[in-house]
Amino acid sequence: MWNNDIKEKIKKTLSYTAKRDCIITLITCIVVSIVIGAFIVYLRRDEDKTIKVGVVYVGDASTMYTNNFIEALSDIEQEYNGKVEIVSMYNVAEGTERDYLERLVSDGCNMIFSTSYNYGVTTKELAQKYPEVQFCMATCSNANEEPYLKNYHTFMGAIYQGRYAAGVSAGMKLKELIDDGIISESEAKIGYVGAYPYAEVISGYTAFLLGARSVVPQAVMTVKYTNSWNDYRTEKKYARELIDEHCIIISQHSDTTGPATACEETSSDVPVYNVSYNQSMLDIAPTTYLTGCKINWKPYMKSAIDAVLNDKVIEKQVKGNVNGNDVGAGFDEEWVSMLEFNDIAVANGTKERVKKVIEQFKKGNINVFQGDYIGVNPDNPSEKIDLKEGYIENEYSSAPTFKYILKDIITVE
């Protein structure tokens, strides 16, 4: 009797345990199904999500500076295969950008890139007006300046590094001409066509000259400003005048092929060579073009677009020197690159030397703005800087800040 009772209790216990296990298993299956279903919905939501990206350009594909942005965004649009739509506004004159930016907002853009320095103030004002849109401003003052806005960002490549490396190429050519007895050390003169007397331009041509002087210490420079980013006639005219003043190397911070054309058309007994910016001039000046440098905008723009597409913070997605809402980088993150070298024109050993310079930049071993030089602020001649201790460019801002004219070796006409 006792054994039968025990057997019955055991049967009941096993039955209860089996039912309990079945219920637990069923509940677990339901929960797992819900989680998997939710995850699939989440994935499909991300797969289906698209964003619209607006861009305001100061030029179009015919201008070197603007074309670099266009090519970068074209690549990005193709890589995202329909998830990113680019809406472009071309040839927007500085001072008229507000209407175009407003139109992009009205058109439903989730983020907007402004690509001209002089668009900066207006772009930041609209970022304050439309906090739901992310505004990314190239080549402008630091986004961390007041008023600080979560949706306003600044970015730029450390182009002074490229300018310095390009200047080394120019110095190698000058040295070759000196060694061959074609020019003397005192004739190692560089001409530079600049757009505006901004820090961005001054920093660039100073780095270029110091790169040349790392090879030929006697090199000097004369600068002419066009007061326009894109003026073929004036750029060519000023390049021609610099050549007439016996400049051997002509470079530029302006957007047209004018300077390269002037070099190629020169029939002087003393050869003249061109170092370009943003675009190779090999097809324009096949016998006088040496090389050049450019900012590669794609690394930042792709990371920023990806951040907005996935509801993430832009500065946490971008690799570079991050300071608040401002990001910059140089050769280390491939934000700066050299243009092609003209093998029939560059001096022997140029590629190898430039390669070593780039490696030194990647290791942080070059401080460009350092030496036995005194710089003068052109807007306030009483303000001077001694470069013996060195000046670190882009330390706290992606936009260049070096604004001093080096005494005795740089002349501004």
- pTM for the model stands at 0.87
Is there a single domain that holds both residue 136 and residue 29?
no
Cβ count near 2 (within 10 Å): 6
Contact 403, 203 (CB under 8 A): yes
Contact 402, 202 (CB under 8 A): yes
Q: Reading across the β-sheet that carries 134-138, which strands appear in turn? A: 84-89, 51-56, 111-114, 134-138, 152-157, 326-329, 321-323
Beta strands of 111-259 (E only): which ranges? Answer: 111-114, 134-138, 152-157, 189-194, 220-225, 249-253
Is there a single domain that holds both residue 237 and residue 370?
yes
pLDDT number for residue 43: 46
Is there a single domain that holds both residue 306 and residue 283?
no
- Inter-axis angle of helices 199-213 and 159-179, nearest 10: 40
Is there a single domain that holds both residue 164 and residue 39?
no
CA-wise closest residue to 369 among 351, 397, 390, 400 = 390
Is there a single domain that holds both residue 280 and residue 213?
yes
pLDDT number for residue 49: 87
Coil vs helix vs strand at 119: helix
CA distance 55 to 70: 9
Contact 249, 174 (CB under 8 A): yes
CA distance 408 to 320: 35
Residues 206, 209, 214, 219, Cα dihedral to 10°: -140
Q: What is the domain-level CATH number for residue 344? A: 3.40.50.2300
Contact 171, 215 (CB under 8 A): yes
Which residue stretches of the chain have pLDDT < 50? Answer: 1, 40-45
Question: How far is residue 216 from each of residues 38, 178, 190, 210, 291, measured CA to CA in Å?
Answer: 67, 9, 12, 9, 18
Is there a single domain that holds both residue 284 and residue 382?
yes
CA distance 311 to 100: 25
Instruction: Find the domain containing 382 and state its range.
Output: 159-296+330-412
Is there a single domain that holds both residue 249 and residue 376?
yes
The H or E element that residue 85 is part of is: strand 84-89
pLDDT number for residue 41: 44
Is there a single domain that holds both residue 108 and residue 182?
no
Is there a single domain that holds both residue 152 and residue 289?
no
- CB-based contacts of 59, cutoff 8 Å, min separation 6: 65, 66, 90, 91, 229, 230, 255
Number of domains in the chain: 3
CA distance 55 to 43: 29
Is there a single domain that holds both residue 121 and residue 74?
yes
CA distance 247 to 160: 22
Contact 249, 170 (CB under 8 A): yes
CA distance 342 to 273: 11
Is there a single domain that holds both residue 223 and residue 188?
yes
Is there a single domain that holds both residue 318 and residue 366?
no
pLDDT number for residue 140: 85
